[in-house]
Structure 1
Amino acid sequence: MEDQPRLLPSTPGNDLGAQLRAARLNAGHSLAAMAALTHFSKPYLGHIETGRRLATPDVIDRYEQVLGVPIGVPLDPVRVTHEWLLNQPPLTERLHAGRRIGADTVRALEDRVIELRHLDDTVGSRHLLPLVRAELVDAAQLAREGVYPARLGVRLLTAVGELSQLGGWIASDAGHYRHAQQLYLSGVTAAQDAGDRALGAQLLSSLAYQITNIGSREDGLLIARSAGTAADDATPVVRALLLERLAWAAARCHDADTTRRALDAVDGAYEQRSPGIAEPEWVYWLDRNEIDVMAARCHIQLGTPAAAEPLLRRALSGYDHSHARETALYQTWLAEGHARTGNIDAARDTLERIDTTAVDEGSVRLHRRITAVEHLIGRRHGGDTEAADLPPK
């Protein structure tokens, strides 16, 4: 139906607002009383409880402290993945009065998403995450309340899905894992309703990457495999990205055969790229250097660190060092590779040369990597040769 408003379906973020409201009412507090107890404004909490704004981790924590109950247990990501595999619904249509949205507005939003995505290369999580959150709230509100033709609705929902993925990635870098998972899962809903299966796979594989790193590795591998089912129909670079994350999940589970097959498939997919094949903008960053880094990390994870060093050195030599966080992360892998081959002096020297600016800018991910490699070097220097399973990128 043309020129009818579309509302976003219920998402984990909106459900979380309802959970906050239910917990408050069960405790017998008015919204005004809750505002006084949490030191947030009443209108702000009202917008969160009704799903008009995202519930940030600090709001959830404050509610839990005041009410003494856990709130916002994330949806089961494995279940959501299975539903994604089975369901490919059309764009959700709901009627609601709202402002008319034109192509210029949608194009401006799409340009802003690209701008924010590229800022993640050089701007720290502490500064970028609030910007992405604010844009996501505004985009979701446009999709929920605006009046627009169906073709623009698809583009709006796609922008919401892309912002959810970007927000989840940055939140995960900052150590806000629960919030990242909520963003990823709500993004899957938007991508489904936009009919963008590749974007849904990107969101699920991003979630698999986080779960593999800080949660159940088996669940991470399962989700990465499921996301990879979209690879057959995806463009070459998207296939390479999905397969990379499958390779890493398999390596974390010490499944060498699956890892090697996936890495071979990454190379094959990447070689099929062509100027005549339009790739989604969100894979702009995946190049041969990034592929070599992932292969090196898998070698280290599987216990063959000697094979990692030449890959990492080549990748770092051609890397854009204005991307301080990624450069530092990749140097931690080079340091770990040196340590695991017994070259402690080289490991120390590599670690000492790392620019830690990104840690100061909010990258918990980089801080964990540096700390873990320091501990590994200390153990190896002390004669402890037991293989340590360090926190990954």
Structure 2
Amino acid sequence: MQPVTGTGCPSTAVYRGGAVSELGRNLRTAREAAGVSLAALARRTHYSKALLGHLETGVRHVRPEHVTAYARALGVAVDGLYGPPQDPLRVAHKWLVSDSPVTAHNAAGRRVGPSLASELERRVIELRHLDDVVSGADLLPAVRKELSDAEYVVAEASYAEETGRRLLTVVGELAQLAGWVASDAGQYVEAQRVYLSGVSAARSAGDDALAGQLLSSLSYQIANVGDPADAALLARSAVKGAADTSPLVRALLLERVAWAGARCRDRDGARRALDGVDEAYEARSPAVAEPEWVYWLDRREIDVMAGRCLIELGDPAAAEPLLSAAIDAYTPEHAREVALYRTWLAESYARAGEFDVARDVLGKAETAASRLSSARLHLRVQDVARLLPGAA
């Protein structure tokens, strides 16, 4: 893979590891229940037999148009292929094929008001929370669509100054989410592009905290797949640019500094940043307003990051209790996060020489990965597996 100029960040790399998604299983189950072969379905849908097989086995990502094609060819309801009504993946795909509020406002004229800004603000929160339970490759198309619609309104509509500021903030928040889920899906070049476009929108809106969040999110990606020294510089720049911000935002930005420092093997710098995270978190107060996008940062998440940093800094034994306690506190719907954190727990055991325990923990993460469309998770499983004796 070739680096992106000036970042050390690799180019787009989509994982094609053959993981069977729940949706792929549903498509295959419906086809087999109808007594239709792959060859016959290919004739009915005009998709190739090979593509259909790849959709059903997880080699290719299932898109909403694929689901629609199956439903028409098999004479079944689209909803039935998605599974239970409240299944998060079903919600994400329905979001993609439904009309957005921008469509209705376009029909009413170019002038938009606060009501559209409020509706888009509500929708970005809903999408952000879907990311807790839907993998990046599944959520990315819906986020792309929402971001495109919001950018169109900002560029083409007319509005009052305050409404414009709110719309720009929505664009910035959607860009951060789009970058995050694109990175989770292995689309690193796209993630970098939308992160930087979001910084421009956030700065135009006068939202320094959001600009810092976007830059630190890009720093996190570069620390993982690019040059950690570049990531450290970018993370520190984000903290400096958002100097007058709320405690939780500061804690989040410092977490990214700590991670980049740990990846650089800068023990003192990483530990200072982790101390700063703790201080900022303890300074939080109900009297201080926090942006909604920092809702997920709690003591458990801070402990996970501290544990990850300790592993990078060569202290896996200290990392284990932090990671174990955090993993035990998660609920089942957070399958991707639990699996990711199990890879770090497995790494802590592997680096401490406890290989049997490491294999057991990594096996649980690998089982979850087979059901999730997350390049980040699949790559972590592969990386940790290489630490175990007998790995190829």
With structure 1 as the length reference, what TM-score do the two structures score?
Answer: 0.70
> What letter corresponds to residue 219 of structure 1 in structure 2?
D
Cα deviation for residue 215 of structure 1 reads: 1.0
Query: 1:226 and 1:326, CA in 2 relative to 1: closer, same or farther beyond 3 A?
Result: same
Cα displacement string for residues 45-100 of structure 1 (whole angstroms, at most 9, x for unaligned residues)? xxxxxxxxxxxxxxxxxxxxxxxxxxxxxxxxxxxxxxxxxxxxxxxxxxxxx701
Q: In structure 1, what is the equivalent of residue 217 of structure 2?
A: 206
The CA distance in 1 between the partners of 2:233 and 2:370, in whole Å, is 31
- Which of 330, 334, 345 lines up with 2:341 in the alignment? 330
Q: In structure 2, what is the equivalent of residue 232 of structure 1?
A: 243
- Which of 133, 141, 144 lines up with 1:130 in the alignment? 141
> What letter corresponds to residue 304 of structure 2 in structure 1?
V
The CA distance in 1 between the partners of 2:357 and 2:179, in whole Å, is 35
The CA distance in 1 between the partners of 2:141 and 2:368, in whole Å, is 19
8 Å CA contact 1:324–1:355 kept in 2: the answer is no
Query: 1:323 and 1:132, CA in 2 relative to 1: closer, same or farther beyond 3 A?
Result: same
8 Å CA contact 2:136–2:183 kept in 1: the answer is no
The CA distance in 2 between the partners of 1:336 and 1:371, in whole Å, is 11
Q: In structure 1, what is the equivalent of residue 168 of structure 2?
A: 157
Q: In structure 1, what is the equivalent of residue 289 of structure 2?
A: 278
Trace 1:288-367 onto structure 2 (pairs within 5 A).
Answer: 288-354=299-365, 356-358=367-369, 360-367=371-378
8 Å CA contact 1:358–1:366 kept in 2: the answer is yes
Matched, 1:264 2:283: no
Q: In structure 2, what is the equivalent of residue 169 of structure 1?
A: 180
Cα deviation for residue 357 of structure 1 reads: 4.2
Matched, 1:254 2:296: no
Cα deviation for residue 320 of structure 1 reads: 2.6
Cα displacement string for residues 230-276 of structure 1 (whole angstroms, at most 9, x for unaligned residues)? 45311000000000000000000000000000000000000011111
Cα displacement string for residues 89-119 of structure 1 (whole angstroms, at most 9, x for unaligned residues)? xxxxxxxxx7011111111100000000000
The CA distance in 2 between the partners of 1:343 and 1:135, in whole Å, is 46
Query: 1:187 and 1:231, CA in 2 relative to 1: closer, same or farther beyond 3 A?
Result: closer
Cα displacement string for residues 319-340 of structure 1 (whole angstroms, at most 9, x for unaligned residues)? 2331111100000000000000
The CA distance in 2 between the partners of 1:131 and 1:241, in whole Å, is 26
Q: In structure 2, what is the equivalent of residue 223 of structure 1?
A: 234
Q: In structure 2, what is the equivalent of residue 121 of structure 1?
A: 132
> What letter corresponds to residue 229 of structure 1 in structure 2?
K
The CA distance in 1 between the partners of 2:218 and 2:287, in whole Å, is 30
Matched, 1:188 2:186: no
Cα deviation for residue 168 of structure 1 reads: 0.3
The CA distance in 2 between the partners of 1:138 and 1:231, in whole Å, is 28
Name the % identity: 60
> What letter corresponds to residue 200 of structure 1 in structure 2?
A
Task: Say which SS state the counterpart of residue 233 (structure 1) adopts.
Answer: coil
The CA distance in 1 between the partners of 2:199 and 2:181, in whole Å, is 17
- Which of 112, 117, 122 lines up with 1:106 in the alignment? 117
Cα displacement string for residues 367-387 of structure 1 (whole angstroms, at most 9, x for unaligned residues)? 0000111111136x89xxxxx
The CA distance in 1 between the partners of 2:279 and 2:225, in whole Å, is 29
Q: In structure 2, what is the equivalent of residue 197 of structure 1?
A: 208
The CA distance in 2 between the partners of 1:210 and 1:266, in whole Å, is 19
With structure 2 as the length reference, what TM-score do the two structures score?
Answer: 0.71
- Which of 153, 158, 165 lines up with 1:142 in the alignment? 153
8 Å CA contact 1:169–1:206 kept in 2: the answer is yes
8 Å CA contact 2:135–2:184 kept in 1: the answer is no
Cα displacement string for residues 327-376 of structure 1 (whole angstroms, at most 9, x for unaligned residues)? 00000000000000010111011111226445543211000000111111
The CA distance in 1 between the partners of 2:139 and 2:369, in whole Å, is 12
Cα deviation for residue 124 of structure 1 reads: 1.8
Query: 1:296 and 1:323, CA in 2 relative to 1: closer, same or farther beyond 3 A?
Result: same
The CA distance in 1 between the partners of 2:304 and 2:156, in whole Å, is 43
Q: In structure 2, what is the equivalent of residue 372 of structure 1?
A: 383
The CA distance in 1 between the partners of 2:369 and 2:140, in whole Å, is 14
The alignment yields a C-alpha RMSD, in angstroms, of 1.4
Where in structure 1 are there 5+ consecutive unaligned residues?
1-97, 383-393
Query: 1:115 and 1:359, CA in 2 relative to 1: closer, same or farther beyond 3 A?
Result: farther
